[in-house]
Amino acid sequence: MEVDDYGSSLRYTPTTEFDYGTLLCWGTNDVGQQRRPCIFHIVPTGPVKVGRTPDQASDKINRLRPMQLMVVLGVLISLCLVLLLVCFVLTLQRRRRRRGSRGPVLSSTILLDLNSLYTTSSMGNDDKNPDVIPQRGRLLTKKK
Q: What is the pLDDT of residues 66-105, one digit of tens each?
A: 556 666 777 788 888 888 888 888 888 888 777 765 555 5
Q: How far is CA 74 from CA 47, 71, 81, 85, 106, in A?
A: 38, 5, 11, 17, 51
Q: Which residue has the higher pLDDT, 6 or 78?
A: 78
pLDDT tens per residue across span 21-59: 888 888 877 888 888 888 888 887 766 565 555 555 556
Contact 118, 111 (CB under 8 A): yes
Q: What are the C-alpha distances in Å from 95 to residues 47, 63, 88, 89, 109?
A: 67, 50, 11, 10, 33
Nearest-10 Cα torsion for 131, 134, 135, 138? 110
pLDDT at 137 over 70: no
Residue type for position 78: S
Note the pLDDT of residue 25. Answer: 82
Return the pLDDT at 60: 58
3-class DSSP state of 117: strand
Q: Which residue did the predictor score with more confidence, 24 or 65?
A: 24
